[in-house]
């Protein structure tokens, strides 16, 4: 093991000791780490079955402990989790209003009172990295707790997971994805790519299959479509069936510089790193610059990438030293941030 590998191993030991439990709860689309659903179910993304296959193919060891019973979440748990997310103020308000509406309608039904036929399918619009997948995953769990969905899992897909290249194959491919999503939420990212002006495109066949499944499985399937705001408006209006079923919109605003700074600080706390005052001010100045063009920077996703490059810069720096203390393993310096920020095309050294 060379010196650089040794330093990296030391870093990982510190991180594991301080944050092993917390890391499991960090949202996937903010930090890029897998997040378990209620009951230990991972979110399933169409076309990425490696985790599912490996879990099914590997037999449990002979001395494996007994299976831990599923811990049932409560609505209070989920509301606290929603409130803990950085930013998303408008989204939080809309989600809370929706939860209240569904809760009261369910109580009316239990008391044999008339209830409205509420469409729970949703359109999430916003730039990349604004938390759309994270909230979709939370909504699947909320609907499970409310008794709307039987499983409460999330199946994530996009055009490539739904549309085939031959006549008649798209309906089959789309139906297979829908079957996996029954009892939970089908999350279709960049859904506008399904509708195309080209004559021989099969995306419309997928849309028709989804619309039929939404009607046939209206009691145990929720569909959330997501993408850029203007393109999602055009997508919904492209088909009367879509417009009638998707009448609930959530807009995800770009993160402000201050919110991105909070996300970076949270990432440091969860992973066992810290910044001194000089470095913190430098980071803030870079994030103000990046916030002027969040579309290219990627919002929370950009923050995650910036953090990972800073950690890599720190490892390269410490690997040159003979002795490394625990404090040095935890400290990200101004130079680490400068190197990390240099990876962004639009990054400029703040004045």
State yes or no: pLDDT of 59 exceeds 80: no
Long-range CB contacts (< 8 A, 24+ apart) of 229-235? Answer: 229/125, 229/126, 231/192, 232/123, 232/124, 232/125, 232/191, 232/192, 233/125, 234/192, 234/195, 235/191, 235/192, 235/194, 235/195
Specify the residue for token string 């959330």. Answer: 224
State residue 296's pLDDT score. Answer: 78
**Rounded distance, CA 42 to CA 45, Å?**
9
Q: What is the mean pLDDT of the chain?
A: 82
- Of the two residues 51 and 242, the one the predictor is more confident about is 242
- Joined together, the tokens standing for residue 110 give 């239990």
**Run of H or E including 225:** strand 222-227
Higher pLDDT, 118 or 212: 212
pLDDT of residue 15 exceeding 60, the answer is no
Q: Residue 53: is its pLDDT beyond 90?
A: no
Alpha carbon distance 261, 286 (integer Å)? 10
Q: Do 147 and 106 contact (CB within 8 A), yes or no?
A: yes
- Residue 146 is classified by DSSP as T
User: How much is the pLDDT for 225?
Assistant: 97
Question: What would the two tokens of residue 30 be?
Answer: 């903010």
Rounded to whole angstroms, how far apart are CA atoms 95 and 83? Answer: 11
Please state, in angstroms and rounded to a whole number, the distance separating the CA atoms of residues 31 and 46: 20
Q: What tens digit of pLDDT does each residue of 171-189 get? A: 999 999 999 999 999 999 9
In which residue are the tokens 């509420």 written?
118
pLDDT score at 346: 38
Distance CA 89, CA 108 (A): 29
Q: Which domains does the chain have, with CATH numbers?
A: 3-32+256-341 (1.10.8.60), 88-252 (3.40.50.300)
């Amino acid at each position: 093991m060379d010196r650089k590998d040794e330093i990296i191993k030391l870093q990982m030991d510190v991180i594991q000791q301080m944050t092993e439990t917390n890391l499991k709860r960090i949202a996937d689309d903010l930090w890029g780490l897998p997040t378990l659903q209620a009951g230990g179910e991972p979110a399933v993304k169409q076309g990425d079955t490696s985790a599912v296959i490996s879990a099914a193919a590997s037999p449990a060891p002979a001395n494996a402990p007994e299976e831990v019973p599923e811990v049932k979440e409560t609505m209070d748990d989920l509301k606290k989790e929603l409130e803990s997310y950085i930013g998303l103020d408008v989204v939080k308000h809309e989600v809370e209003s929706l939860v209240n509406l569904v809760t009261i309608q369910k109580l009316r039904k239990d008391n044999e009172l008339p209830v409205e036929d509420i469409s729970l399918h949703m359109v999430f619009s916003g730039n990349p990295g604004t938390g759309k997948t994270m909230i979709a995953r939370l909504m699947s769990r909320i609907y499970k707790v409310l008794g709307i969905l039987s499983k409460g899992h999330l199946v994530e897909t996009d055009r490539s997971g739904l549309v085939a290249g031959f006549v008649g194959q798209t309906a089959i491919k789309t139906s297979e994805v829908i079957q996996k999503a029954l009892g939970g939420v089908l999350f279709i990212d960049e859904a506008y790519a399904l509708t195309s002006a080209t004559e021989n495109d099969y995306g419309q066949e997928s849309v028709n299959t989804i619309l039929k499944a939404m009607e046939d499985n209206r009691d145990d399937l929720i569909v959330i479509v997501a993408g850029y705001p203007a393109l999602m408006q055009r997508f919904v209006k492209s088909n009367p069936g879509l417009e009638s079923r998707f009448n609930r919109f959530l807009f995800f605003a770009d993160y402000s510089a201050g919110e991105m700074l909070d996300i970076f600080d949270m990432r440091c706390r969860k992973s066992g790193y810290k910044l001194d005052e000089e470095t913190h001010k430098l980071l803030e100045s870079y994030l103000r610059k990046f916030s002027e063009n969040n579309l290219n920077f990627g919002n929370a996703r950009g923050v995650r990438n910036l953090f990972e490059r800073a950690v890599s810069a720190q490892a390269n720096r410490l690997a040159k030293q003979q002795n490394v203390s625990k404090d040095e393993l935890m400290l990200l310096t101004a130079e680490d941030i400068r190197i990390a920020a240099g990876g962004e095309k639009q990054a400029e050294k703040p004045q």
